[in-house]
A and B are shown apart, each in its own frame.
Chain A
Amino acid sequence: MDKSKHSDSVVIQKEGLSMRGQAILRQAARSVLSSKKMISESKFALLLLLPTIVILLGLLLYPFLYSIYLCFVDLNLTKPWVGAKFIGLDNFSAVLKDGEFWLSMETTLYFAVFSVAASMILGLAAALLFNVKFRLRGLGRSLLLIPWAMPGVVNAMIWQTMLHPNYGLLNGVLLKTGLIESPVGWLSDPKLALASVIMAQIWTSFPFVALMYLAALQSISGELIEAAKIDGAGSIRIFKDIVVKLLVPVTLVLLVLRTIDSFRVFDLVFAMTKGGPANSTQLSGLYLYKQGFMFSDFGLGSAGSYILTGFILVFVLLYMRILRQKDRV
């Protein structure tokens, strides 16, 4: 059936050609037909996608599978004579028994709760502000993005300089205004160091929240607000019953993204405090980095990473449950 169709089209086209031309055309048509038989369209598509698939599998699937494998073996590069020895769940139990891991998890939890909450509140406030029309709003919106666009290490260095006890901006201002009498060791006091790191994280992360909220606010139909006004709703009522409700989906997305981000922060503490003083700012990302890349214990590092992923998953599921229920109400 197929074959005759193609032969017809070839017959139509060959009118007006020389004998030699016709012969070439016939041959070409035959080769097209035979090649059609050899490879189907879907296989051809797969062939074209193959390089990408190989690269993606090589860079994503293979390391992913390998990291799962690493969780169950004792692979320490400094003990090459041992090789990769299967040790079951020992890596997981070693991480869970390590007091330093739990201290890093506790620190991460504080870090995540405070930095996520504060960046959400600040972000929403900034979005509400920039949703109102005023002069230089465009410039303001552009400037807002600068902290977010800044590389993590640069952000850490800026804050480290501003928080310098003797030459830093913050102590300088506080001393000049008489709010403090002697310089505060923002990064040398274990109690203040984590708060300082959280502050740096909020500064770099709230613009993203603001941007997402701003997009969501702008998608709220003006007619809806108008209708509510006609029905006699005040500004607070409109904000509470319309705006907040419509922001629930984006809030869920933001909470999930920001929580994941906070749990995997590494560059900030690595550049700002190296986890000190006395491990008071050692987040789990830094703890895992040390296990894998400083102590060459990749099994322990991998197992710890999956435990951390499990914690993040619990948070994400919790958010989804709470916010979905709220959405239904």
Chain B
Amino acid sequence: MKRKSSIMVLLLIVLAVAALSGCGNNSNSAAEGNTKTNAAGSDKPYAGVVLRTISNPSNQEYFAKVNKEFQEKTGIEVQTDTVGNADVTPKLMNSFMSGGSTYDIFVMDVIDLPRFVVSGWVEPVDQWLTDDMKNEMLPFAKQALQYQGKYYGLPFASEYKSFVYNKTMVEKAGFSGPPKTWDDFIKYSQALQEKGIVKYGSAWAWSQTEGLVCDFIAIASSMGGKLFDENGNPVFNSPENTAALQLMVDMIYKYKVVDPASIQYNETNVLDAMSAGDIAFELNWGLPLTPLNDESKSKIVNQADVAPLPYTVSSATIAGPMSYAISSGSKNKEAAWEYIKFLNDTEGSKRQAIEIGMFPGWKSVYEDPEVKAGVPGLDKILEQAEVAVNRPQIPWYNEWSSKFQVELQNALTQKKTPAQALADAFAETQKIQESNK
């Protein structure tokens, strides 16, 4: 009898705990539609609305300042949950799983868009987006907002990798300008190495991480390669892509112009090697000349310059843009749009570029004299922004990228031939595609 009642008590406790954890999810709805008083008819139609967003602590002061100004202008209050970078996605996922009303607005990576759209977590913004806005966006930033014919959000932190070369070293080796084609690139690198200027012409971020996929896409695109067709089907075992991977392998083992340490390098390691003057070429994110011209960190101050990535078909580079998007579960979507517009339209984006160095997704911001003066070097890389491509838009991107990285490394470590590695990656991709149907 006693044992039975103990079991009952235990079961009750477990049920209570389960119920409580359920409550945890529901409590998210407490933040739903925190509309206080709506001063309808005034110039502040959304006054009193409270919007919630989640962010990591970077540029906290800037956003606090802008949010305050936004509140003064519109009467909309923006509350930000500031959490560690690693906690942003899990918390956002929790919000989505419980209806998506905890956070009205969130920052979305380009690779997350298809997954979020397919899951019904992100709201299309076509009804608010004007043609002027669409025409104003840089091609890669515009493409990063679109999926299955609809637009989702406004461009934010629209970064891409830029090709950088050490002008002083290249001139010392007897060349007047940067390498234009991949053949030039190999020739230049060999000359630099033979003259003892550098040990290796270049180093790349080819460790088993996202950086490898990014670099491969940039190189493949410059050689006319494409990874997926318009319907999201893999086409990457094409001769162009195989040639691109073969070039990467050959640059390590045949021509010996790429530091073999690239297989374990990330972008920071590449920048370190460039700053130390150990290599003459790099492909890196952001404003690459800023750290290279920083006397406290670099040995090659005022030596580097940017140029289009070498090519065989046409120059290209890789983009990694973000966007500000609205949650499908938000109860205040119009107010949320007002906020992301305030934060990220051409004016907002210009301010972000000048005050916190965020990359604009709008062409006009690059051409703005204030931006040119306030963000040195930005105008120099516009040429690269115009040819930047995005990674494939597939809902199962993370799973695909993880397998693709391994196959690329199988080729780079000579475990497989490039053709074999890409064929195996193709087969793996078909499997992932099938399991996600």
B14 to A290, Cβ gap below 8 A?
no
CB neighbours (8 Å) of A290 from chain B are 402
B119 to A79, Cβ gap below 8 A?
yes
B21 to A274, Cβ gap below 8 A?
no
Q: Tell me the complex Cα distance, A15–B249, Å.
A: 101
Within 8 A of A (CB), among B12-26: 13-14, 16-18, 20-21
A61 at interface by CB-CB < 8 Å: yes
Contact pattern, B 99-132, Cβ under 8 Å of A = 1, otherwise 0: 0000000000000000100111000000000000
Residue of A with least CB distance to B115: A78
B395 at interface by CB-CB < 8 Å: yes
Q: Tell me the complex Cα distance, A275–B403, Å.
A: 12
CB neighbours (8 Å) of B405 from chain A are 276
* Choice from B21, B115, B118, B207 contacting A62 with Cβ under 8 Å: B21
Q: Tell me the complex Cα distance, A87–B391, Å.
A: 33
Q: How large is the interface on A (under 10, 10 to 19, 20 to 34, 35 or more residues)?
A: 35 or more
B412 to A277, Cβ gap below 8 A?
yes
B413 to A62, Cβ gap below 8 A?
no
Q: Which of B47-55, B257-265, B307-315 is the interface stretch?
A: B257-265
CB of A9, distance to nearest CB on chain B (Å) = 31
B208 to A274, Cβ gap below 8 A?
yes
Q: Tell me the complex Cα distance, A209–B301, Å.
A: 50
Known: A80-B97, A166-B278. A279 touches B263 (CB 8 A): no
Q: Tell me the complex Cα distance, A187–B262, Å.
A: 10
CB neighbours (8 Å) of A294 from chain B are 398-399, 402
CB of A62, distance to nearest CB on chain B (Å) = 5
CB of A187, distance to nearest CB on chain B (Å) = 4
B409 at interface by CB-CB < 8 Å: yes
CB of A45, distance to nearest CB on chain B (Å) = 13
* Choice from B13, B120, B398 contacting A57 with Cβ under 8 Å: B13
A295 to B119, Cβ gap below 8 A?
no
A278 at interface by CB-CB < 8 Å: yes
* Choice from B20, B262, B402, B413 contacting A190 with Cβ under 8 Å: B413
B402 to A185, Cβ gap below 8 A?
no
CB of B297, distance to nearest CB on chain A (Å) = 15
Q: Tell me the complex Cα distance, A135–B396, Å.
A: 62
A165 to B264, Cβ gap below 8 A?
yes
A279 to B261, Cβ gap below 8 A?
no
* Choice from A46, A54, A185 contacting B16 with Cβ under 8 Å: A54
B409 to A53, Cβ gap below 8 A?
no
A58 at interface by CB-CB < 8 Å: yes
A58 to B17, Cβ gap below 8 A?
yes
CB neighbours (8 Å) of A275 from chain B are 208
* Choice from B118, B119, B264 contacting A187 with Cβ under 8 Å: B264
Interface SS of chain B:
helix
CB neighbours (8 Å) of B119 from chain A are 77-81
Most buried by B among A61, A62, A276: A276
Contact pattern, B 395-437, Cβ under 8 Å of A = 1, otherwise 0: 1101100100110011011010000000000000000000010
Contact pattern, B 244-284, Cβ under 8 Å of A = 1, otherwise 0: 00000000000000011111100000001100001000000
Residue of B with least CB distance to A279: B406
CB of B89, distance to nearest CB on chain A (Å) = 9
A241 at interface by CB-CB < 8 Å: no
Known: A57-B13, A62-B18, A277-B264. A77 touches B413 (CB 8 A): no
B39 at interface by CB-CB < 8 Å: no
Q: Tell me the complex Cα distance, A86–B264, Å.
A: 41
B14 to A277, Cβ gap below 8 A?
no
Known: A189-B413, A277-B412. A295 touches B399 (CB 8 A): yes
B13 to A54, Cβ gap below 8 A?
yes
A273 at interface by CB-CB < 8 Å: yes
CB neighbours (8 Å) of A46 from chain B are 9
B209 at interface by CB-CB < 8 Å: yes
B7 at interface by CB-CB < 8 Å: no
CB neighbours (8 Å) of A54 from chain B are 13, 16-17
CB neighbours (8 Å) of A188 from chain B are 260-264, 413
Within 8 A of B (CB), among A260-309: 273-279, 290, 294-296
CB of A304, distance to nearest CB on chain B (Å) = 15
B93 at interface by CB-CB < 8 Å: yes
Q: Tell me the complex Cα distance, A290–B406, Å.
A: 13
CB of A268, distance to nearest CB on chain B (Å) = 15
CB neighbours (8 Å) of A185 from chain B are 260-261, 263-264
Q: Tell me the complex Cα distance, A273–B405, Å.
A: 13
A278 to B402, Cβ gap below 8 A?
no
CB neighbours (8 Å) of B264 from chain A are 165, 185, 187-188, 193, 273, 276-277
Q: Tell me the complex Cα distance, A77–B395, Å.
A: 12
* Choice from A58, A78, A166 contacting B261 with Cβ under 8 Å: A166
Known: A80-B119, A188-B263. A276 touches B207 (CB 8 A): yes
- Known A-B contacts: A77-B93, A188-B264, A295-B399. Give 11 more (CB < 8 A): A80-B96, A166-B259, A183-B261, A188-B413, A190-B415, A193-B264, A275-B208, A277-B264, A279-B406, A279-B409, A295-B402
Q: Which 4 A-B pairs have the closest CB atoms?
A: A276-B208, A188-B263, A278-B409, A188-B264
* Residues of A near any B CB (own CB < 8 A): 46, 53-54, 57-58, 61-62, 65, 77-81, 164-167, 183, 185, 187-190, 193, 273-279, 290, 294-296
24 inter-chain pairs at a CB distance below 8 angstroms, sorted by A residue, are A57-B13, A58-B21, A78-B118, A78-B119, A79-B119, A79-B436, A165-B261, A165-B264, A166-B261, A166-B273, A185-B264, A188-B261, A188-B413, A190-B413, A276-B264, A276-B406, A277-B207, A277-B409, A277-B412, A278-B208, A278-B406, A278-B410, A294-B399, A295-B399
* Residues of B near any A CB (own CB < 8 A): 9, 13-14, 16-18, 20-21, 93, 96-97, 115, 118-120, 207-209, 259-264, 272-273, 278, 395-396, 398-399, 402, 405-406, 409-410, 412-413, 415, 436
